[in-house]
Chain A
């Protein structure tokens, strides 16, 4: 028992002195307890072939696992590469589409329905409402000069409706028409003049590519329908033409020639006259110039 105590004491002191080598510390070679020393020696004996028999299997397991891992890693890397390409491309495409749609909505180039939708959704961001009845793509940037000729068109439409007995004018349109003609009594004359002006319109605009001064040449062409009203016709044309003449020098001349010729046919069916009336409301709201030709007409009516 004393020898054991000596061994343990030796263990302790050796370990304290040299803690980096615990085996040597815990196993002093010259121990006076040979039984314990033998036991530890036996437990620490070199590996037997029996113990090392499983090496091939272990290494085979290692190789198999590595191969599996490499395969899955390769697959993973391929997926990662595909994702690395696909994600930015998709994101960029989505961004492009979104930005394009946003720009189109902002500039009002979307189809009617889509523009309406965009306006409803993003009206706070300044997306404009669709321009009703202006799906004509051949007139780019003609939003400003158009109101005047189309304004005549609207009134022509009212006149048609006013003249037709079977389809009465709506009260609102009727009020506007009488306002434009300067009273209920003036409507008939106003409409007649308007008709004459509309039929006269295409000729001068197509004949005169030059600036405003060519406008006075219009009256001779409008004479044939009614020679008696020639001076009046020249007068009536003047107020209407004066504004239209400056734009005639611009490339937006073509709608001027188209619109009046088209309108007589359009106003025939009652269902179509609703479009122009809606437009008229907007134009009244937008341009105060609507009223400018009317005083001249009213005065002329009064004179007559």
Chain B
């Protein structure tokens, strides 16, 4: 969807239009959810819900175009994801150990099996590289926005992205696919 239409949807949503908000949600929720899968693992769904509630609450305060909205949205998502991860690590002693990283057969059979697999592989990267790869390469934010979200310098983001990609390329599952 072109940026212009999305900016219009953003304006409509800010005026209280539900259809505009639905457009925004449909456009961005999958990316938010995938980013949070990498960041917060099993708690991605909760973190994504929290993210959207935060967006709903503060949408009328937001001032900017659609590109700015994307950066704002992923900044919120990152904070909610980190919150969820912290909560997860706090309750780990009492709760069952999380059964992540190994996608079960049902998930594999589902439509997004390949996506789940890819996200699992990316989540195995060191956190800063995984986030940089997700935001920069998968979601496609520019370096400045990514740096703003991660609280890093653009150079550091470039390096982290580069190292993440290099590491992914050396991943056993990727390597076996090479030349297939």
Contact = CB atoms under 8 A, between A and B. Distances in A.
A65 interface: yes
A23 to B, nearest CB: 4
B177 A43 contact: no
Contacts of A8: 162, 165-166
Given A8-B162, A47-B29, A63-B18, A26 B112 contact: no
A36 B168 contact: yes
Interface stretch (B74-82, B83-91, B97-105, B113-121): B113-121
A59 interface: yes
B165 A62 contact: no
A177 B22 CA distance: 103
A203 to B, nearest CB: 90
Given A23-B140, A44-B138, A66 B30 contact: no
Interface in A32-82: 33-36, 38-40, 42-52, 54-55, 58-59, 61-63, 65-66, 69-70
B168 to A, nearest CB: 6
Interface string B102-131: 000000001110110111011000000000
B118 A39 contact: yes
Contacts of A7: 165, 169
Interface residues of B, number: 51
Interface string B127-169: 0000000101110111100000000000000000110011011
Nearest to B140: A23
Contacts of A59: 18, 21-22, 25
Contacts of A63: 18
Contact of A27 (B30, B49, B137, B143): B137
Contact of A62 (B18, B34, B114, B136): B18
B22 A55 contact: yes
Contact of A22 (B25, B110, B118, B136): B136
A19 interface: yes
A40 B21 contact: no
A163 B157 CA distance: 115
- 7 residue pairs, one from A and one from B, having the closest CB atoms: A23-B140, A47-B30, A35-B177, A42-B118, A35-B174, A42-B114, A43-B118
Interface of B: 13, 16, 18, 21-22, 25-26, 29-30, 33-34, 48-49, 52-53, 56-57, 60, 110-112, 114-115, 117-119, 121-122, 134, 136-138, 140-143, 161-162, 165-166, 168-170, 173-180
Given A22-B143, A43-B138, 10 more contacts: A4-B170, A22-B142, A26-B165, A35-B173, A36-B169, A40-B138, A43-B119, A58-B25, A59-B22, A70-B16
9 contacts: A22-B143, A27-B137, A33-B178, A38-B177, A42-B114, A50-B110, A52-B26, A59-B25, A62-B56
